Structure 1
C-alpha cells in the first residue's frame, strides 16, 4: 500500500482494501463491545443499515430470473388488500429504482433518523412491518422521479416472501449469501447478536438497540464483514449469484444523478466506474466500493456515527491514482 492509508481520526470499525485474493491493507480500530472491552478486528461483523438494499434488489432480481416475478409485476397483484395506499401502477421496477412515489415510513427527504412509529421489538419478521408501512399517501406518480424510499424496499421483501414462500432472511441467505460464500453474513436479532459482532453506539454512548428493528428486513438490518463484502462483489461480477443479464440490470445507471453526483441502478449506487453499497443509521455506517476492472474493493464499516463514505471514496481514489498494487 506504500504511503496510501485511510483517515482513522475518530474512527471506530474496520477499513479494508482487497484485490482478488489479496488483502492489500486492513485497519481495525476501537471497540466492538465497550462493556466487554472487545476490540474490532478484520473479522468483526457490522450492521450494514441501508447497505442491505443491495441484497434485497439482487434477491428480487433472482426471483425475476426464475420467473416468479417480472420487473413489470404490479405490487398490488401480490399485496392484495394490504397497504391500500400503494397506487395500482407501482411495479417491482419502480420499487427497485426508488421511483415508485409511494409514501415512506422513514422519508429521508424529511428526517433520516426519525423514530419508528411502532416499538422496535415488534419488528421481528418482515410481515410485522406491515402496520408501520401503512397509511402513507402517494408522494408523486410512479416513474416521475427518483426519491429514496426505505419503505419500498420492505415492500419488495414482503413481495419476495409471498411469491417464494420463504422468509426473507432465509431467501437472502439462499440466493445471495450462500452462492457468494458469505458465511459470516446474515440478519441477527439486535438483542441476540452472535459472537464477533459489533454493537452500534449512538453519540451519547448508548447502544442502538432501542432505535432499530429487532430483526432487519428489505431496507436494513443485514450484518456482514469486510471480507464477505469483497467476496460478494467478486461473486456478483463473475455470475456466481445471478445470471450476468441480471447483474447488468442491478448495475445499470437508471438515475444519472440521485444526489451528491452519484448515479443509482437497482439497489447499487454508481460513482463513475465504481459500484457502491452504502448505508447509515443510528450507530451504524457502512460503505463498500468496488472497482470492477481491477477487482479492487475498499470497505469501511463503523459501529459509531462517523463519516465513512468519504473515507472510503478518498482511499479508493488514492489507490487508483497511485497505481497501488497494480490498480488502473
Structure 2
C-alpha cells in the first residue's frame, strides 16, 4: 500500500503542482509522509513535515470540542439558548437559537461570508480592514445587525458566523480568550505541540506563507486576504503530524468522554440528498447505514486543507497546502488507493 500511495500522491502532485505536506497513518503508525513545494517562495524555503499550515475552516472541529468540554463541565448544554449564554445583543435573531443549532449550521442566522451569494473573500475587507480583525468581537459588525437568513432549524446552511458565536460562548463560559482556551484545553491533550492561533504579522518559525496563483503565472501572498488573526470559525495553524495526533486522541477518548464524543460524531444534519451529513464541527459521510469517514476541510485564499479518519480501516489522512487549491486532488487520490486496497 505504501508504494502505491507514494506513486499516486507524486502523480497528483506533478499534475497540479501541489505545495504542502501529506500524512497517511494507520493508528499512530505513519504509512506515508511527504512534503512538496515552498513554505516561503521568495526565500526558496521548502515545506517539510514540521511546517505549520493554516487550515481555514478545518479548525471548526476544535471549536466544537471546546463546546463539548464545557458541556461536560456543566457550564453549558447543547440545548442552551444563545441569549442565555452570550451577553451580546442580536436585535433580529430568533430567540429559539440553541448551541445545537449553531454547531450543526441550522441556526438560520446571517453569515458574514455567505458562500451562497459571495465568491470573493477579499470583498469583506473593503469596509472592515483585515488588519483590525484580531479578536472574535471584531467579527461582530460583519453580521450582528443583519436579519435572519432562514427559520431556525429549517435546513443546513454552512455558516462561519455561527462558529464565531460559539467561540464567544467559549470565552464567556470559560473566562479565557478563545485561542488561549484551545491551546490550554485541547492541543495539550492531543500532544499538538506545534499548533496554535497565530497573527499574520507575528508568525513563528517554520510556518508556511499562503499563496494565490494567477493564470499568467504570477502570484501574491494572502497577507491582505484574511483576518490578521483567525478565529473560532477558521484560522488555526497545524502540522500534519499534530493533526494526525488530534484524530487519534479524539476517537480514542483522550479529549472527550465516550457519550459526548458519540453526540459530537452523530450525523445531526443532512447536507444533501446523498451521503453527506454534519455532526458537531465535523462532516460525516455515510455509505448505507455505516459511517465511511469523519472529515474536515478548509479553503481560504492561499489555503486548502483536507483531513479524515476512516473508522473501518483505522486510517487517518491529513493534507495541508499553502495554495488556494490542491488538497482535494491529493485527498481523492489517496482515497482511491485506500478503497482499492480495502476491496482486494
TM-score tier by shorter-chain length is over 0.9
Matched length: 325
CA RMSD of aligned residues (A): 1.7
Question: Which residue is 1:314 aligned to?
Answer: 333
Q: Secondary structure in 2 aligned to 1:198? A: coil
Q: CA–CA distance in 2 between the matches of 1:322 and 1:122?
A: 49
- TM-score, reference length from structure 1: 0.94
Q: CA–CA distance in 2 between the matches of 1:172 and 1:195?
A: 21
Query: After superposition, where does 1:24-173 map in structure 2 within 5 Å?
Result: 24-114=31-121, 115-116=123-124, 117-173=127-183
Give the C-alpha shift of residue 33 in structure 1. 0.4
**1:17–1:298: 8 Å Cα contact kept in structure 2?**
yes
Residue 271 to residue 122, structure 1, CA distance change in 2 (3 Å): same
Give the C-alpha shift of residue 81 in structure 1. 4.3
- TM-score, reference length from structure 2: 0.90
Q: CA–CA distance in 2 between the matches of 1:259 and 1:35?
A: 45
Give the C-alpha shift of residue 15 in structure 1. 1.7
Q: CA–CA distance in 2 between the matches of 1:33 and 1:84?
A: 45
Residue 249 to residue 112, structure 1, CA distance change in 2 (3 Å): farther
Question: Which residue is 1:200 aligned to?
Answer: 210
Give the C-alpha shift of residue 80 in structure 1. 3.2
Q: CA–CA distance in 1 between the matches of 2:39 and 2:274?
A: 31
**2:156–2:271: 8 Å Cα contact kept in structure 1?**
no
Give the C-alpha shift of residue 299 in structure 1. 1.3
2:239 to 191, 215, 225: 225
Residue 168 to residue 21, structure 1, CA distance change in 2 (3 Å): same
**1:83–1:133: 8 Å Cα contact kept in structure 2?**
no
1:2 is the counterpart of 2:9: no
**2:28–2:248: 8 Å Cα contact kept in structure 1?**
no
Question: Which residue is 1:181 aligned to?
Answer: 191
**1:53–1:219: 8 Å Cα contact kept in structure 2?**
yes
Residue 267 to residue 112, structure 1, CA distance change in 2 (3 Å): farther
1:264 is the counterpart of 2:278: yes
Q: Secondary structure in 2 aligned to 1:202? A: strand
Structure 2: tracts of 5 or more residues without a match: 287-291
Structure 1: tracts of 5 or more residues without a match: none
**2:130–2:228: 8 Å Cα contact kept in structure 1?**
yes
Q: CA–CA distance in 1 between the matches of 2:60 and 2:90?
A: 20
Encode CA deviations 1:193-216: one digit per residue, 9 max, x unaligned.
Answer: 111110001124111111111111
Q: Secondary structure in 2 aligned to 1:293? A: coil
Moved more, 30-39 or 121-130: 121-130
**2:156–2:270: 8 Å Cα contact kept in structure 1?**
no
Moved more, 250-259 or 223-232: 250-259
